[in-house]
Amino acid sequence: MAPEERPQFIASSGGMAVESTGNRLLSADRVETEQIIVSEKHSWKNLFAYIGPGFLVSIAYIDPGNFETDLQAGAQYKYELLWIILVASCAALVIQSLAANLGVVTGKHLAEHCRTEYPRKTNFVLWVIAEIAIVACDIPEVIGTAFALNMLFRIPVWCGVLLTGFSTLFLLALQQYGVRKLEFFIAFLVFTIAICFFLELGYSKPKSTEVLKGLFIPKLNGNGATGHAISLVGAMVMPHNLFLHSALVLSRKIPRSVHGIKEACRFYLIESAFALTVAFLINVSVISLSGAVCSSSTLALNDKKSCENLDLNEASFLLKNVLGNWSSKIFAIALLASGQSSTITGTYAGQYVMQGFLNLRFKTWVRNLLTRCLAIIPSLIVAIIGGSSGAGQLIIIASMILSFELPFALIPLLKFTGSKTKMGPNANSLPITVLTWLLGLAIMVINIQYLVTSFVKWLIHNKLPKVGVAFIGILGFAGMIAYLGGILYLAFRKDKEVTYLLPLEESIAIESNCTQGYNKDAELHGPFGAIPREDIVSMQLPRTRDLTDLD
């Protein structure tokens, strides 16, 4: 092979980006970046450098949509469905750790891998689905914040919907103070939510033995319980979170060594476990609070009716009547913190999805304005026409959309993290592969069952003419066939593109081989290092600067 035809290899380590073109190494010291640099020393102190992304991700597990399903589950089934939260939280930890590993090992987030791997048309469809998921995730956050403003300041729900967009823009101004301060602020909001619900729990006094029994003894009494269990699972694992987590880990500049990569994966797992444990305890508190209040023997008749169809707005009045006015205010503060923090993380998820699938980057405020408008318009229309009850129903519809779209993010994640062409020696082991696919399959089957049963139930109970029902039924089932076809395509399509990023020491060894002359080992390993990722050193949250030209 002629010297000018030798393959290129890219690696990065600490503050260096190393490019090999046969005889040239370029320093990235000129690159302006606000990344958090992780020390190359082997120490548990490095764990503190990794703390942050897990809390931003955990927000999706305690957003207003989760609170809505938690309240209904507790009101109707007391503590019987707590075990669903435990199982779903464990599954979420495994899945989120895969998303973090994908970003750490490859230096690319999930949306970027999709753009590299899939044909243009498939990639475009996946992008549209991801954008719809982000809008569907924004709707409960907008409505939840509007409810909170109504509870605290008596602001009409439709006015609260409008104010939500402006308040989110204000909070996103925090990005100018750097990644760390934004992460600490989100963590503060998470602990604020936790403290509020722990206080509520202390005054509602659920029986600890019954709570423990609900956590560790699986029970589903009747079809209604099955439907609520499915909705709980659907509200826990959200598609946009997989894109978000795989991108957030790139805000750290880790040592590009074998040990550095393994340490980063391990510390991100620990950090995610801690953040998701806090989220798990909050969800348990919400269900226990609802279960204790609605099962009280002293509950008034009007309050019992509220428990039959408990939503975020009704929960405020219920807590006020049963536990006092202060309880309603504490609930509103928790809901406000949940809604505002969720809108911030949803905006960043949208930013990375657009950048990854289309290689487009908008300014954060522009991106946020677009997603806010798409979420605010339907929320505003429903709030004006249907009032609080209509807005509550919109949250349920948004949760169904998220359940529908989960496989189109989850399947690529499972395939990429189990692929040696993507992850090299860091690909999932056989036991992890089997476990994660079983988890993924279970979640997808549960969500698909939820969608099918909900659609069939709607067809049976709606008041449309029979011709209209038949027409909608044909379209609906045709759509389901196309939906299953898309899932099977993603599941069985063989990965083609090699995107594994070599650790620094391996890349330098191959560089030495190529400098001395062509050999078979370089040919075998070359493609793993041949994908240039110059933007790794400038990928951050939030993104304020682009990488300067190295040439």
- For 59-94, b where at least 16 C-beta lie within 10 A, e where not — what string? bbbbbbbbbbbbbbbbbbbbbbbbbbbbbbbebbbe
Query: Does residue 492 lie within any of the structural domains?
Result: no
All residues at 6 or more sequence positions from 207 whose CB lies less than 8 Å from its CB, including other chains? 292
Q: Indicate which CATH number applies to the domain containing 95.
A: 1.20.1740.10
Summarised one tens digit per residue, pLDDT across range 391-450 is 677 777 777 788 788 899 999 999 999 998 889 889 998 998 999 899 888 878 877 777
Count of domains forming the chain? 1
Q: Is residue 315 part of a domain?
A: yes
Residue 507 reports pLDDT greater than 60: no
pTM recorded for the entire structure = 0.82
Torsions phi, psi for 58 (to 5 deg): -65, -20
How far apart (Å, rounded) are the C-alpha atoms in residues 18 and 13? 8
The pLDDT assigned to 25 comes to 34
Beta bridge partners of 17: 12
Gap between the Cα atoms of 317 and 307, Å rounded: 11
Q: Is residue 139 included in any domain, yes or no?
A: yes
Half-sphere exposure of 465 (CA within 13 A, CB side): 3
Domain containing 223 equals 50-295+302-461
Structure tokens at 256: 């590009």
Q: At residue 16, does pLDDT exceed 50?
A: no
Instruction: Provide the residue count of the chain.
Output: 551
Nearest to 175 by CA among 56, 39, 46, 48: 56
> Residue 122 and residue 490: Cα distance in Å, rounded?
10
DSSP 46: G
Answer whether 547's CB lies under 8 Å from 534's CB: yes
Tell me the two tokens of residue 520: 């078979």
Q: For residue 521, is it within any domain? A: no
Of 237, 181, 193, 205, which is closest to residue 36 (Cα–Cα)? 181
Within a domain: 520 = no
Residues 286-296: tens digit of each pLDDT? 999 999 988 88
402 belongs to a structural domain: yes
Judged against a pLDDT cut of 80, whether residue 258 lies above it is answered with: yes
Element (DSSP H or E) covering residue 539:
none
Whole-number Å distance between alpha carbons of 214 and 79: 5
According to the model, what pLDDT value does residue 242 have? 93
For 53-89, what is each residue's pLDDT tens digit?
999 899 889 988 888 889 888 988 989 999 999 998 9
- What pLDDT digit, counting tens, does each position of 162-217 carry? 887 676 666 666 666 766 777 888 889 899 999 999 988 888 889 999 999 999 99
